[in-house]
Amino acid sequence: MTETDTTRTRYGAAMVVVAPAVLVAGLFSHPFIAVLPDDAAIAAAVTASPTRWAVSHMLVAVGSALLLLAFLALRRYLLEAGEDRFSALGLPFIAFGSVLFAILPALEFAPWVAAEIGGDIEAAQAALLPWFFPTLGLAAVTFVIGIYGFGKGIARAGILASGTTRLVVAALGVFAVARFVPLGAFQFYVQGAAGVVALWPLGYRMWTRPTPRTGL
């Protein structure tokens, strides 16, 4: 591996670490909503702190975009490790799911706009629902399929120790499945924490071992 290849892999490793950190910052800073959807609770949260609402959703959108770049870097690393089947199948679904997921925080700017212009926040949020849940459902389904592919690819590539592999694959599964659960604790906290647990060990591995075939 050349110095340029090493540098590129480490840039990718940095992305694998930064992406879930940005996503978790957005999810953890999101005002807590116990059960989704809850138009009244959302209206109260937006009214209490419009800036917090806007910033948290922007962070989630940026984190989702960075997550796609992280999986692109991880795909390249797995390819260099000799895994060219499951991660290749998973990547298009990760991309599709990540793009759709980024649409969701964009939609959630509608209540913020209503608050800014003195409109009906609850009505604005209610108007989103016919678009919000189909988008969330399709994003979650495709992301799960993509995560399954990457989980299989990571396990097959053998780039991590066996115990770490099990932890990472399990955390990836939780990360994806949490998107289906309409409870704030799962949507904001479980999902965010699982993403960090899943991706940070991979980022560390990519940084410390830019050449995948050099052993554990």
Half-sphere exposure of 116 (CA within 13 A, CB side): 9
- Both structure tokens of 147: 């995560």
Does pTM top 0.85 for this prediction?
Answer: yes
Q: What is the pLDDT along the chain (216 residues), one digit of tens a residue?
A: 676 889 999 999 999 999 999 999 999 999 999 998 899 999 999 999 999 999 999 999 999 999 999 999 999 999 999 999 999 999 999 999 999 999 999 999 999 999 999 999 999 999 999 999 999 999 999 999 999 999 999 999 999 999 999 999 999 999 999 999 999 999 999 999 999 999 999 999 999 999 886 455
Q: In the chain, how many domains are there?
A: 1
| Residue 49 belongs to domain spanning | 3-214
pLDDT at 42: 95
Q: What is the pLDDT of residue 144?
A: 98
pLDDT the model gives residue 4: 80
Transcribe 126-191 into DSSP letters.
Answer: HHHHHHHHHHHHHHHHHHHHHHHHHHHHHHHHT-S-HHHHHHHHHHHHHHHHGGG--BHIIIIIIH
Which residue is associated with the tokens 């959807």? 37
